[in-house]
Amino acid sequence: MTPLLQVKGIKKHYGMRIGCADVSFDLYPGEVMGIVGESGSGKSTLLNCLAGHLPPDAGQVIFDTRVDGPADTVTMSEPERRMLGRTDWAFVHQHARDGLRMSVSAGGNIGERLMAVGDRHYGQIRDRAIDWLGRVEIDESRVDDRPTAFSGGMQQRLQIARNLVTGPRLVFMDEPTGGLDVSVQARLLDLLRGLVREMGLSAIIVTHDLAVVRLLADRLMVMKDGHVVEGGLTDQVLDDPQHAYTQLLVSSVLQV
Amino acid sequence: MSAYNFAYLDEQTKRMIRRAILKGLAVPGYQVPFASREMPMPYGWGTGGVQVSAATLTPEDRLKVIDQGADDTTNAVSIRKFFENTAGVETTEDTSQATIIQTRHRIPEAKLTEDQILVYQVPIPEPLRFLEPRETETRKMHSLEEYGLMHVKLYEDISQHGAISTSYAYPVRVSGRYVMDPSPIPKFDNPKLEMDAIQLFGAGREQRIYAVPPHTKVVSLDFEDYPFEATKADHCCDLCGAEDSYLDEVIMDDAGNRMFVCSDTDYCRSRREAGHIGPMGAEDAA
Amino acid sequence: MKKDEAMIELSDVSKSFTLHNQGGAVLPVMEGAALKVAPGECVALTGASGAGKSTLMRVIYGNYLAASGRVLVGGLDVAQAEPRQILALRRETLGYVSQFLRVVPRVPTLDVVAEPLLALGRDRAASLDKAGALLRRLNIPERLWGLSPTTFSGGEQQRVNIARGFAYDYPALLLDEPTASLDVQNRETVLALIEEAKARGAAIIGIFHDTGARNQVCDREIDVSGFTPGQAA
C-alpha cells in the first residue's frame, strides 16, 4: 500500500530558534494521527509546514495525488498546491472564524469549495449544502443564516462541513475542539469519528488534549522543543510511555 | 490656456499612463497599477477616468462626457469644461460624433465603432473586494484564477432574494481569463461590453487601470439554473417611446406620479428629433 | 490454520518500566514469558494479584510495549508491528474485553456495541441487530439502548463491554475478569458466550478470579508468577 503522505526530514527554523526539526513519518489512507506536545513544542509549525501554509527550510512532504501519484508538495507550483488545498486537503482551524467567511451564509460557506472547483448549478450546490448541514447536525432551516448567529460548537461543525464537502482525503486539524465546552467537545468528537470512518479520511490532528487523541487518533507523535520524542499506537504511548517527557505529560493530566 | 500642458498632465505622466493602458489592453481585464496623480477635483468625481482621458486625448479628438447617461449633469459638465480649458479640444453631446467618450455608470445606447474609445470612471476596481478584504489575497486569486468566491456572492444573492439581485457593477469574465468589475454600469449594459470600440477603465483613488480591447469576449457570471438577465424597467421611454433603452424613473410630484425617460439623453433627443414620441412626449413638445 | 498451530504464541517476552521522572528507576516486571494458545482453546492466566496477569495481557494486545521477545498473534509480531498493523489486527483478529469501559461520551449503547462491526464496514442495520441481540441476552433493558453507557451502573457497563467484545467473532480474544461483578444469570450467559466462541474456534486467554468459571471454560492454566524476574522459572 502506498502511503497517502510521506514526510521526510521536515525542518523549520525561525532565525536561530527551532520551529521543528527532523520530522519524518508515513501516513496511510484511513489513518488518524495525533500530534501532542505543550505550547511552543513545534506542533503547529509542523502542521503548517505539512499543509503548505509555511515553507519548510528542508524536507519533503510527498502526497499521493489522484492524478499524478506521489508528488512533493513543498516543491510543486503554488497553483497546484492551492488546488490540493481546495480539493483533496482540508484544514480545520482552532477558531472557526479563521476558517469561515463570517459575512456569508452557512449555505454559501459550504458551497464555496464546490463553486471553487467549478460547480455552477445553484440548486445542486444548495442541496449539497443542506445535506452537509444535516451531517454535521445543524438544522436545515439555518442554511441562510450567517455563522455570526451560530454558537461556537455550531460554527466549528459548519467549518467541518465546509471543509469536507468536496470529499477530501486528508484533513489537517489544529486543536479542533479547543475553546469549546466539554459537552460540545464530546459531540464534535463523536461526529468527527463517524465522518472519518464513513469517508475513509486520513487526518492529522494537533492538540494538547490527551483525551481528544485517545478518542480520535490511531497513532500518536509526541513533540518537545521541535523534535519528535516518541511515536506509536495511541493507547500504547499513553498507557506505556517510554520517553521521560511523555511520562511527564501523561502523569500531568488531571484524572476525573 | 497656455499655462497648462496639453490636457493638464505633464508628458511624463501621460507616458506612464499610456504604458499602463497598453499593458491593460495586452492583458484584457487585468488591473494594472499606476501612479495616480492628484487632480484638481476630489476622488469620486472621476479622477481615474480623467487621467485616462488626458493620456488618450489628441488635439484632433472630439470629446463627449456623460454621467449616468446624461451630458448635462454637474459631473459631466465639469469634466467637459476641464478639457475644453486644459486641452482646447472640441466637445460634443452627439455619441456618433465623439472620438473619446468618458462615462460614469453607463454605456451609450448607440452602437460604438472601432474609431471610438470609451473611458469609464471606476470607484472600486476589485470585483473580489467585498468578499476578500486583503489585496495580497485578491491578487493571488486573480493570478491563480481562483474565482469560486465570485459565485459565492451570486449564491448569496439568490439565497436571500430568490434571484441574482446584483443590478449594477455585475461581474464579468473577460476573454476567458480575468474576472472584472465593469464599473457600476447597470447590468442591462453588460451585453454591450462586447463591442467594436476600445474600453478603458480608470480608478484614481485605487490607482488601477484596466481595459477591454475591441471584439473581446465578455461573459457575465451566472448559474446554470439562474442564467444572467439584462434587465430594465418594464416600460417604454415616456418622451421618445423607445422600448430598448435603459430608463430612469423620475418622480413627478408627491401624489405618486412618475415618468420613465431614457437615461441616455443624447439617444432620447435624437429619437425625438427623428419624430418618435412617447406617451408623455406630446406635452414636452408643446 | 491447522488445529495444532498456535493462534497466539509468545516466546521469551520481557517487560520493564523505566520511571524517568523518579530518578530513572527501572522496574523489571516480566522476563522469559512464553505461551501458546491454539484455536478453540481457552487458557487462564493465574498468579497472585500483582504477579503480572494484566500486564501480560496488555503486552499481547499491544497496549504495553514488550521490551524484548516475540508476541505473535495470527502471525503478526505485535512487539515489532507498525501501529496500523496492530490496529488492523485489533479490528479483524484480536478482541479484548477489559474491566473498564472506555467510550466517546454521548454515543448510544447500541452503537457502542455495534462499533466493532461498523469498523469492519458491515451493514449498519445487521450490525445493530446483532448488537441488540447481545444486549438482550445480557439483560440490558431495551429502554437503555439509546443512552450512553457512561451513565450506567458498574455491572451494566461491564455487560455492555462484554457485548461489545463478542459482537464480532474474533479469532482471538483476551478476557480480563469477564464474570466479575455479575449476578448468577448473567455469569451463566457470559460463560455460554465463551463456550460458543471456543466452539467456533476462537483462541482465548482469560483472567478469572472466579474459580468455578475458570474450571468450567478453561482448558489449561498458566501461572504468570513463573515469568516474574528474579524467580526461577
Return the closest-CA partner of residue B218 out of B165, B149, B171, B154.
B171
Q: Read off the pLDDT band of B284 (50, 70, 90).
A: very low
Helix (H, G, I), strand (E, B) or coil at A234: helix
Would you tell me how many other CB atoms lie within 10 Å of the CB of residue A65? 18
Distances, alpha carbon A149 to alpha carbons A177, A217, B150, B157, C5, in Å = 19, 31, 23, 19, 63
Question: For residues A97 and A104, what is the distance between their CA atoms, to the nearest angstrom?
Answer: 12
Note the pLDDT of residue C157.
Answer: 92
Question: What mean pLDDT is predicted for residues A225-237?
Answer: 95
Note the pLDDT of residue B8.
Answer: 95
Note the pLDDT of residue C233.
Answer: 43
Return the closest-CA partner of residue B171 out of B136, B231, B125, B132.
B125
Contact (Cβ atoms closer than 8 angstroms) between residue B277 and residue B240: yes
Q: Is A122 part of the contact surface with chain B (CB cutoff 8 Å)? A: yes
**Mind telling me how many Å the CA of B158 is from chain A's nearest CA?**
8
Note the pLDDT of residue A69.
Answer: 92
Contact (Cβ atoms closer than 8 angstroms) between residue C194 and residue C175: yes
Q: Flag whether pLDDT at B61 surpasses 80.
A: yes
* Gyration radius (Cα) of chain C, Å: 18
Question: What mean pLDDT is predicted for residues A118-131?
Answer: 96
Q: Flag whether pLDDT at A255 surpasses 70.
A: no
Distances, alpha carbon B85 to alpha carbons A224, B117, B251, in Å = 73, 21, 36
A182 vs B279, more confident: B279
Q: Is A105 part of the contact surface with chain B (CB cutoff 8 Å)? A: yes
A120, A142, A146: best to mutate for the B interface, most B CBs within 10 A: A120
pLDDT digits (tens, 9 = 90+) for B169-182: 999 999 999 999 99
Q: Flag whether pLDDT at A129 surpasses 60.
A: yes
* Cβ <8 Å between C87 and A240: no
Contact (Cβ atoms closer than 8 angstroms) between residue A242 and residue C66: no
Q: What are phi and psi of A105, to 5 degrees?
A: -60, 165
Note the pLDDT of residue C232.
Answer: 46
Q: Which residue has the cell 464513513?
A: A198
DSSP string, C177-197: STTTT--HHHHHHHHHHHHHH
Contact (Cβ atoms closer than 8 angstroms) between residue C93 and residue C129: no
A154-163, A188-197, B202-211, B249-258, range with the lowest pLDDT: A188-197
Contact (Cβ atoms closer than 8 angstroms) between residue A202 and residue A30: yes
pLDDT digits (tens, 9 = 90+) for C8-45: 999 999 999 999 988 889 999 999 999 999 999 999 99
Q: Flag whether pLDDT at B1 surpasses 80.
A: no
Residue C221 pairs in a beta bridge with C44
Q: Which residue has the cell 488445529?
A: C3
Note the pLDDT of residue A206.
Answer: 94
pLDDT digits (tens, 9 = 90+) for A144-190: 999 999 999 999 999 999 999 999 999 999 998 887 877 778 778 87
Contact (Cβ atoms closer than 8 angstroms) between residue C157 and residue C177: no
Residue B277, judged by CB atoms within 10 A of its CB (0-12, 13-18, 19+), counts as middle
Note the pLDDT of residue B245.
Answer: 95
Q: Flag whether pLDDT at C89 surpasses 90.
A: yes
* Cβ <8 Å between A31 and C58: no
Q: Do chains B and C touch (3 or more CB pairs under 8 A)?
A: no
Q: What are phi and psi of C70, to 5 degrees?
A: -115, 140
Give the strand order in the sheet containing C220-223.
C94-97, C172-176, C203-207, C42-46, C220-223
Question: For residues A189 and B43, what is the distance between their CA atoms, to the nearest angstrom?
Answer: 53
> Could you say which DSSP state residue B190 is in?
G
**Active site annotation includes B236:** no
* A82, closest residue in chain B (CA to CA): B144
C-alpha cell at C212: 468455578
Ramachandran category for residue C123: left, alpha or beta (phi over 0 → left; psi -120 to 50 → alpha):
beta
Residue A185 pairs in a beta bridge with none
Helix (H, G, I), strand (E, B) or coil at A224: strand
Q: Flag whether pLDDT at C1 surpasses 50.
A: no
A191-205, B130-144, B234-248, C200-214, range with the lowest pLDDT: A191-205
Q: Flag whether pLDDT at A22 surpasses 90.
A: yes
B226 vs A187, more confident: B226
Q: Read off the pLDDT band of C231 (50, 70, 90).
A: low
Mean pLDDT of chain A: 92
Note the pLDDT of residue B132.
Answer: 87
pLDDT digits (tens, 9 = 90+) for B2-11: 678 999 999 9
> Could you say which DSSP state residue C7 is in?
S
Q: Is A126 part of the contact surface with chain B (CB cutoff 8 Å)? A: yes
Partners of A84 on chain B (C-beta within 8 Å) are none
> Which residue type sits at B152?
V
Question: For residues A99 and A90, what is the distance between their CA atoms, to the nearest angstrom?
Answer: 10
Please name the member of A190, A197, A242 whose beta carbon is closest to the beta carbon of C119: A197
Question: What mean pLDDT is predicted for residues A223-251?
Answer: 94
Mean pLDDT of chain B: 94
pLDDT digits (tens, 9 = 90+) for B9-22: 999 999 999 999 99
Contact (Cβ atoms closer than 8 angstroms) between residue A11 and residue A20: yes
**Mind telling me how many Å the CA of B39 is from chain A's nearest CA?**
36
Please name the member of A187, A233, A243 whose beta carbon is closest to the beta carbon of C86: A233
Q: Is B226 part of the contact surface with chain A (CB cutoff 8 Å)? A: yes
The answer to whether the predicted template modeling score (pTM) of the entire model surpasses 0.95 is: no
Give the strand order in the sheet containing B32-33.
B32-33, B208-212, B198-203, B117-121, B100-104, B62-67, B90-91
**Mind telling me how many Å the CA of C162 is from chain A's nearest CA?**
20
Question: What mean pLDDT is predicted for residues B28-44?
Answer: 95
Q: Flag whether pLDDT at B111 surpasses 60.
A: yes
Helix (H, G, I), strand (E, B) or coil at B13: helix
**Active site annotation includes B29:** yes
DSSP string, B201-223: EEETTTTEEEEE-TT--EEE--B
**CA-based max dimension of chain A:** 57
Partners of A110 on chain B (C-beta within 8 Å) are none
User: Can you tell me the ipTM of this complex?
Assistant: 0.89
Residues in chain B: 286
* Cβ <8 Å between A122 and B146: no
Note the pLDDT of residue B282.
Answer: 66
pLDDT digits (tens, 9 = 90+) for C105-157: 778 999 999 999 998 989 999 999 999 999 999 999 999 999 999 889 888 99
pLDDT digits (tens, 9 = 90+) for B117-150: 999 999 999 999 888 889 999 999 999 998 988 9
Question: What mean pLDDT is predicted for residues A109-126?
Answer: 95
Q: Which residue has the cell 508468577?
A: C225
Distances, alpha carbon B18 to alpha carbons B183, B216, C157, in Å = 20, 20, 81
